[in-house]
């Protein structure tokens, strides 16, 4: 018989009687008024519920010998006799079990405790919820309704008669118990940390309310089901300046699902390219998945067959231990090439980037995948960052890790500028002959990738401080004379990575955090490719360098040496806990995690490195502002040069409006913001006005998603000086639109 288990102690006196044997053990239902206990210590008798015949219309009991009792009548305590006056009790004051439960409820002011102090199943059916006590269980038929009364009009009614199922009752009790457990755990943790628990947080945890009601975390959990291959015309609100002409390319995780499998980390989702084409005040929208080798393999298998940053793939029975060992020497072919982080120009071509040594060339007009370039095979690197630096002359520099005789080395990779005779086009601008059509593929005679990629060369670097634990690097910086490499104490354990390669563990399992060691900031000469200085700072974690530049020493600064100083601005965190915050399970539980906002909290810091100081000197940063900032951008003409303003999106989950655009004045520390409730802009890309006179004279371009409408997408244009909206274009996509990560603006690509 199908049954549902219920705590024994939750039953009313009527239910207690129904699940007990007679006092003598004979199974007689004589109604003598004796009531044995439901179960005693060491008792081996079993009891179960059965539904007796429809004619009888009563509940019965069967003991372990199969003897049936007929408890259709039981003696009601004297205090409850003949209170209803409706003829339900017989001449002896006895009534049926259900009548007794109803009568008990009617006579008890709060209606939640029987006279014996037990909590009845019916008592749980009210508007107040009491936790079910833990105790022995008794089986109840799944189809049985322990409260078959007609009670229409109740506020908590579910069906037509206002009755609720046992499943609903138990679910309410479970949720309440979980809420109480969360509250207690939070208060204990706060006391252990020497802090007072926030009463509002405690109340929200216990009641199950969201801790961050203004933050729509689920915007990161969306999965695109249908691409937009043909341009979708947008509805323009306000004014899109007509001088803006080009394409805003965006990249990010587009789907967390693959067949019945689900990716476990935000950095694992299938790459989705999005395109906003802007011309003559109008905007169109397109989206298309990157057809990487990983995407094709997963799509063919209809499951996850390639291990990602935080997701372990399904094991391949055909992959022997020898093949796995051999694969470690071919990182570009074995590691996932799911380039879902960024998109950058190299020469006149655009490439999607991830941290594996593979670049995927894409068409900036149709978003088609064109070419897969394995940089490891030509340069011998193991990985590279997702954020190369595009130089003023059109050349591109990236930072990778290579293996040498002395161990891992952080190597600078240089991709040359366009050939002599061809004008330099910074910022990924294409030839003006390609205004309305896509550029012709730039291939070598043998069909090889673009010459600029082929001509990439290693140009010096720095040895890792720990041969078996090279640092994790997501971005780097540069000045006019130096490259800036920030070696944080978050490392990729080589032994763990080897074990993971053999066992199929994801890369995230190889990360190690060493908070007892400082962060090292290396300066590498642009001219020689050799390290010139190394500075120490307190340990911190980072993903994005804001900007770096050199300046003469200023009076009043800490180190007024004549050679000048290098300024390094970084979005910093105390530790790498925010990586764990981006696991899908963590995102789904973020609203119940009182530590989530704290773990994700970071601040932009400025480090001043005196070039005339002692090598290995220690530096202390100062905050640029007191707001969490991420995905920082600035005027592209001022990269590696002195600057004043940068722009970012909010990283404070508990802010009044987490979807805020931020403008930071690095001179004064002042901040200006733009925001709209329920609206989430992407990384802001600054476009200078053609005749602009000041550094912030231009606009910010951002892709938009809405917290309450998962099919709505948009392009936002904000005046960078006043931080006010100029206009936007809105689109309704055929399926969910996920939030993107990074992008690039390509002038004249329309």
Annotated binding-site members for Fe cation: 387, 474, 544, 742
Cα distance between residue 435 and residue 415, in whole Å: 25
Q: 3-state DSSP call for residue 502?
A: helix
Q: Which residues partner with 272 through β-bridges?
A: 252, 289
Q: Quick one: angle between helices 166-192 and 199-207, nearest 10?
A: 160
Cα distance between residue 220 and residue 298, in whole Å: 21
Q: What are phi and psi of 474, to 5 degrees?
A: -105, -25
DSSP state of 454: H
Please report, in range form, the residues annotated as the binding site.
Answer: 387, 474, 544, 742
Cα distance between residue 183 and residue 189, in whole Å: 10
Q: Are 424 and 418 in contact (CB under 8 A)?
A: yes
Q: What are phi and psi of 597, to 5 degrees?
A: -65, -40
Annotate 218-243 with DSSP letters as a single string: GGGS----S-EEEEEEPEEEE---TT
Q: Are 367 and 339 in contact (CB under 8 A)?
A: no
| Sequence-ordered strand ranges (E) for 581-697 | 602-610, 622-623, 629-633, 645-650, 660-665, 671-675, 679-681, 685-688
| Sequence-ordered strand ranges (E) for 507-560 | 511-513, 519-525, 531-537, 541-551
Both tokens assigned to 681: 């802009």
Question: Cβ of 139: how many Cβ atoms within 10 Å?
Answer: 16
Q: Are 152 and 23 in contact (CB under 8 A)?
A: no
Helices (H), 284-424: 293-301, 321-327, 331-334, 375-379
Cα distance between residue 343 and residue 252, in whole Å: 10
Nearest to 532 by CA among 615, 596, 450: 615
CA atoms 379, 252, 235, 363: torsion sign: positive
Q: Are 495 and 489 in contact (CB under 8 A)?
A: no
Q: Are 177 and 668 in contact (CB under 8 A)?
A: no
Both tokens assigned to 555: 């009076």
């Amino acid at each position: 018989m199908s049954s549902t288990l219920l705590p024994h102690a939750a039953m009313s006196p009527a239910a207690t009687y129904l699940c007990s044997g007679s006092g003598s053990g004979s199974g007689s239902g004589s109604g003598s008024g004796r009531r044995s206990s439901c179960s005693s210590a060491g008792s081996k008798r079993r009891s179960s519920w059965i539904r007796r015949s429809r004619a009888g219309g009563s509940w019965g009991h069967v003991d372990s010998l199969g003897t049936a009792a007929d408890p259709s009548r039981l003696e009601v305590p004297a205090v409850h006799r003949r209170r209803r006056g409706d003829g339900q009790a017989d001449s002896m004051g006895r009534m049926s079990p259900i009548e007794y439960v109803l009568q008990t409820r009617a006579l008890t002011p709060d209606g939640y405790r029987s006279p014996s102090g037990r909590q009845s199943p019916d008592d749980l059916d009210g508007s107040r919820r009491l936790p079910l006590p833990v105790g022995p269980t008794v089986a109840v038929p799944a189809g049985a309704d322990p409260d078959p009364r007609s009670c229409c009009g109740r506020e908590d009614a579910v069906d037509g008669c206002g009755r609720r199922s046992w499943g609903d009752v138990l679910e309410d009790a479970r949720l309440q118990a979980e809420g109480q457990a969360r509250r207690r755990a939070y208060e204990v943790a706060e006391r252990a940390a020497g802090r007072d628990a926030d009463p509002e947080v405690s109340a929200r945890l216990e009641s199950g309310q969201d801790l961050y009601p203004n933050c729509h975390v689920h915007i990161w959990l969306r999965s695109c089901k249908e691409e937009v291959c043909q341009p979708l015309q947008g509805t323009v609100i306000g004014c899109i300046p007509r001088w803006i002409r080009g394409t805003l390319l965006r990249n990010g995780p587009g789907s967390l699902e693959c067949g019945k499998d689900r990716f476990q980390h935000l950095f694992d989702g299938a790459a989705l390219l999005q395109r906003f084409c802007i011309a003559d005040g109008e905007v169109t929208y397109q989206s298309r998945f990157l057809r990487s080798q990983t995407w094709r393999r997963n799509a063919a298998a209809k499951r996850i067959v390639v291990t990602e940053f935080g997701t372990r793939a399904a094991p391949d029975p055909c992959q022997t231990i020898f093949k796995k060992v051999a694969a470690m020497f071919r990182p570009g072919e074995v590691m996932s090439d799911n380039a879902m982080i960024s998109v950058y120009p190299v020469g006149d071509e655009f490439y999607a980037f991830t941290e594996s040594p593979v670049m995927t060339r894409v068409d900036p007009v149709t978003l088609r995948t064109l070419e897969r370039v394995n940089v490891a095979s030509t340069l011998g690197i193991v990985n590279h960052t997702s954020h190369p630096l595009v130089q003023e002359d059109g050349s591109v520099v990236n930072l990778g890790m290579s293996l040498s005789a002395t161990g891992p080395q952080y190597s600078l990779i240089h991709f040359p500028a366009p050939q002599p005779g061809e004008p330099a086009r910074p910022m990924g601008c294409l030839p003006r002959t390609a205004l309305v059509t896509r550029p012709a593929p730039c291939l070598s005679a043998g069909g090889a990738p673009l010459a600029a990629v082929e001509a990439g060369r290693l140009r010096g670097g720095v040895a890792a401080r720990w041969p078996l634990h090279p640092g994790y690097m997501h971005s780097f910086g540069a000045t006019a004379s130096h490259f800036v490499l920030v070696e944080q104490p978050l490392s990729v354990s080589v032994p763990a990575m080897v074990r993971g390669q053999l066992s199929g563990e994801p890369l995230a399992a190889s990360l190690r955090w060493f908070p007892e060691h400082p962060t090292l900031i290396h300066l590498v000469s642009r001219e020689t490719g050799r390290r010139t200085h190394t500075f120490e700072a307190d340990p911190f974690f980072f993903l994005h360098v804001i900007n770096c530049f050199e300046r003469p020493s200023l009076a009043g600064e800490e180190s007024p040496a004549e050679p000048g100083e290098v300024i390094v601005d970084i979005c910093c965190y105390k530790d790498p806990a925010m990586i764990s915050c981006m696991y899908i399970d963590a995102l789904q539980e973020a609203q119940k995690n009182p530590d989530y906002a704290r773990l994700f909290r970071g601040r932009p810091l400025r480090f001043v490195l005196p070039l005339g100081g002692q090598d290995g000197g220690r530096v202390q940063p100062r905050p640029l502002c007191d707001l969490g900032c991420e995905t920082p951008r600035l005027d592209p003409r001022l990269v590696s040069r002195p600057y004043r303003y940068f722009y970012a999106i909010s990283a404070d989950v508990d802010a009044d409006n987490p979807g805020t655009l931020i403008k930071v004045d690095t001179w004064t520390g002042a901040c200006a913001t733009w925001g709209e409730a329920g609206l989430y802009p992407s990384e802001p890309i600054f476009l200078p006005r053609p005749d602009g006179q000041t550094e912030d004279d231009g606009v910010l371009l951002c892709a938009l998603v809405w917290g309450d409408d998962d099919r709505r997408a948009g392009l936002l244009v904000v005046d960078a000086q006043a931080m006010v909206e100029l206009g936007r274009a809105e689109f309704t996509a055929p399926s969910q639109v996920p939030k993107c990560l990074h992008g690039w603006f390509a002038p004249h690509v329309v």
